Chain A
Amino acid sequence: MATGNARQGTRRQVMVAAAAREIRDGEVVFVGMRLPLLGFALARALHAPNAVGLFENGVIRDSPPLAPIITMGDPPNIAGALACTTLVDVMGYLQRGRVDVGFLGGAEVDRYGNLNTTWVGDRGRRTRLPGSGGAADIAALARRTVVIMHHERRRFPERVGYLTSPGYGTGRGWREGVGLVRGGPARVISSLGVFGFDQASGEAVLERVHPGVTLEEIRAETGWPLRTAPDLRETPAPTREELDVIRRFDPDGMWTG
């Protein structure tokens, strides 16, 4: 993953910048760890100074953690928070429809943006993964979600082996049909490109190809017949300003090096 150069940024820095651009000013964001957390910090620092971040353990912040953290419960994420409350309180905001965008990751994402973080199979051997955590709730209840994934064929199957967190199921209309009241994935930001979702079918459509990546490469690493947007373009490389901020929040390159 650590391709790229100091001027254009590493692949992960490209992903963080793309994640930040998904956050609009004033939005309430369900923040994940690692790249989404950096994306939130970047958005707050540049174009979304009024964004507010919720963490599923009960933390509400309008600023990045005071030092690098591994988990959302680490002391630098509590100190200086706007509020520390319960899981049911922050997930209540989600269920109430007050969360604009939630960030998710997973072991598998499929053609309709469904995520699996529970069971994966490889040549007949089933491997148990940690499970949903709050991901199923964010996928079900946020107004929209953004999925951040390492892009390789085994992680991009036509259909997830286990549906932990709902995308568009088997296509548009599925969410309403099963009883979900809103939401669905807006973007998948992978290590190779950025997908949007077709309004009519709910299918992932490639919209951006990261600098230095070819369309053939993405096709080879995607487990379904790839659809591309008519205006398919290169993902904008992070600006100098964006790179400066990312390096400020990830000085040792722990997440983006």
Chain B
Amino acid sequence: MHKVMSLAEAVSRYVRDGMTIAMGTGLESCIPFAAGHEIIRQGRQDLALVGPISDILFDQLIGAGCVAKVIAAWVGNVGAGTAYNFRRAIEEGIPRRLAIEDHSNLTVALAVSAAAQGVPYLPTRTAFGTDLAREHPRLREVACPFTGARLLAVGALRPDLTILHVQRCDRHGNAHLWGNLGISPEAARAAETVLLTCEEVVEEDVITSDPNRTLVPGFLVSAVAAVPYGSHPSPTQGYVNRDDRFYDEYHGETRTREGFLDWLNRMVVRADGHAGYLRALGEARLAGLSPRAPRLAAPVSYGF
């Protein structure tokens, strides 16, 4: 079965209305913005988004009207603070009402980890006494069966789909990731299936040359799309740095609903796919995001 396909085809085949989708699982880096933009272009609706923090990707999908619910620990703009579409949706129901299941980073991570391990819940000692744990649909106090100690059970959360942006993978979806990992490995294991965007599709022997770096095995993956700069404006270690200015500009441009719609039309809706988005950014800007020099790890030997 051929898994390598265009981003448009991958989204068309594997993203359905009403799905629960984990994205932005690496926290501030490797956020699959290009995939999110394609979901907006294809007009998916009623999605539930899962992530510890999403930076502004969730804000864009919310503003575009694709989202019914957010299950997350933090929704904002990491550089600038407020995410205006998120606020408009929660406070005023614009462009539609948005349900939120509030979490801490650890509780959402454990919810996804429970699903990854195929168990109904995992216990934790966090979040006691907080308002976010109060009357929470996925957090319940339990007694430890061994000691009787008070624990918080975090119910499993199984995404229909996890979308990851990774540095490189082979045509089967065996993926090498490096840098901070957030909850990406657990989110891949927890989901029904995985859609990968990557900076590079590489030969299988590149992957098998360093098996410790394979954090997503291909048997979990349905689709692979080669999307260089697919995490822009978030960074992908070794390939592209963070576009700090973009976050500040977005903050200013999306303060009003009209401003956001202008931004959305210009950068996403009327852009001819991800290539069009990159053209709108301009070559000089992209060139400025390249790492100044490679910083190679010492080779490791798997000799026998």
Contacts and interface: CB of A to CB of B under 8 A. Distances in A.
B183 A86 contact: yes
Give the interface residue-count category, chain A: 35 or more
Interface stretch (B8-16, B235-243, B256-264, B269-277): B235-243
A64 B74 CA distance: 25
B126 A163 contact: no
B104 A135 contact: yes
Interface in B210-267: 234-235, 237-238, 241-242, 244, 247
A84 B181 contact: yes
B182 to A, nearest CB: 5
A155 to B, nearest CB: 14
B270 to A, nearest CB: 29
A75 B83 CA distance: 23
Nearest to B247: A70
A182 to B, nearest CB: 9
Nearest to B103: A132
B25 to A, nearest CB: 9
Interface in B279-297: 291, 295
Given A72-B28, A131-B72, A166 B129 contact: yes
B181 A86 contact: yes
Given A73-B235, A166-B129, A181-B125, A133 B105 contact: yes
A108 to B, nearest CB: 12
A132 B73 contact: yes
B contact patch SS = loop
A150 B247 CA distance: 23
Contacts of B103: 131-132
A70 B241 CA distance: 12
Interface stretch (A53-61, A187-195, A219-227): A53-61
B197 interface: no
B76 A162 contact: no
Contacts of B129: 140, 163, 166, 169, 174-175, 178-180
A88 to B, nearest CB: 5
Interface string A120-133: 00000011111111
B201 to A, nearest CB: 22
A71 B78 contact: yes
A135 B132 CA distance: 12
B124 to A, nearest CB: 7
A57 B52 CA distance: 10
A136 B28 contact: no
A213 to B, nearest CB: 26
Contacts of A163: 129-131
A141 B113 CA distance: 19
A137 interface: yes
Nearest to B150: A179
A66 to B, nearest CB: 9
Given A79-B295, A130-B81, A131-B75, A137 B126 contact: yes
B106 A180 contact: no
Contacts of B107: 137
A136 B180 contact: no
Interface string A77-115: 111000011111001001100000000000000000000
A56 B130 contact: no
Given A73-B29, A86-B183, A87-B27, A141 B235 contact: no
Interface in A143-165: 162-165
B237 A78 contact: yes
A165 B125 contact: no
Nearest to A66: B295
Contact of B180 (A73, A135, A175): A73
Contacts of B199: none
Nearest to A117: B74
B128 A84 contact: no
Interface string B77-117: 01101110011001100000000001111110110010000
B127 interface: yes
B141 interface: yes
Interface of B: 26-29, 52-53, 72-76, 78-79, 81-83, 86-87, 90-91, 102-107, 109-110, 113, 124-132, 141, 150, 152, 178-186, 234-235, 237-238, 241-242, 244, 247, 291, 295
9 tightest Cβ-Cβ pairs between the two chains A and B: A73-B28, A130-B76, A178-B129, A73-B29, A133-B74, A71-B28, A136-B104, A179-B128, A57-B180
